[in-house]
Amino acid sequence: AAFRHVWTKWGPGDANLWPANKIVHTFLYPHILNALLVAGLILYVALRTLTRHGGISQLKRPALTLILLLVAQLLLGFAAYVTRIVQGVIEVQPTAALVGTTVAHLAVGALILAVTLVLIIQGHRHSRELAEVIPFESRQQVVSV
């Protein structure tokens, strides 16, 4: 959001405030690094849920949905990057492609947050079943750590 708002307020039309390359370096690169970290965490949680608790449909569905949304989010992020940085640098007004990819990227990010919340709630609801799957010795190790 910081990248988007700074770009729309200080972007190419007002490059006297900040040049476009400084905006990209200051806001976009940290966004990409954070996206890679979050993508790794989503993959870890979703794959761990599927491998350990794939038999529980209330956990399987949100885990699969998270993986699909993650792929969509990464593709939309790349598309937003291309329309913003590669094609839209010289545009005075945002193009339809730029608005579409940016809004879709934002919406899928919100869906990822919502589905993650569903997975957390369902995990909590099924915590007794999950505790039975994990051997007692492993639970003691987890508690002692």
What would the pLDDT profile of 7-44 be if each residue is shown by its tens digit?
Answer: 556 555 554 566 667 777 777 888 889 999 999 999 99
Confidence (pLDDT) at 86: 74
pLDDT, mean of residues 38-59: 94
The pTM of the full predicted model, rounded to 2 decimals, is 0.76
Which token pair is 129? 């079943």
Residue 94: pLDDT over 50? yes
C-alpha 144/C-alpha 73 separation (Å) is 37
Please indicate whether residue 2 or residue 61 has the higher confidence score (pLDDT). Answer: 61
